[in-house]
Amino acid sequence: MATAKSIDTGDYKLFPSPRNVHRVIFEHQVFVPYPYALIVMDEFYFKGRYSLFSACRLSDGKMGQVATFELASDVDIFDKKFTPD
């Protein structure tokens, strides 16, 4: 049984996705309040690097996922293409 290692930031408690190619928290972030949505980041065809985390938002305890991006333009791509299940 694997032990999940969390990363605490000022805003979130994050748990890295095992599918992440880049295990980095990038500058541009999007919180989506859908903890069980399957987000296949490869299918968005981002221009820069990205990573995905399961997340707990510390301000209100809301569970969800945080997608982080190296490029601000990739946030726009994610916002346009992401639809929860």
Other CB atoms within 10 A of residue 37 CB: 13
Query: Looking at the DSSP assignment, which residues form a beta bridge with residue 56?
Result: 13, 63
Contact present, 28 and 68 (Cβ < 8 Å): yes
> What pLDDT score does 75 carry?
98
> What are the boundaries of each domain within the chain?
7-81
pLDDT value of residue 1: 42
pLDDT tens for 9-61 read 999 999 999 889 988 999 999 999 999 999 999 999 999 999 999 999 999 99
Assign 3-state DSSP to the chain and report helix, strand, coil percentages, each to 5.
15, 30, 50
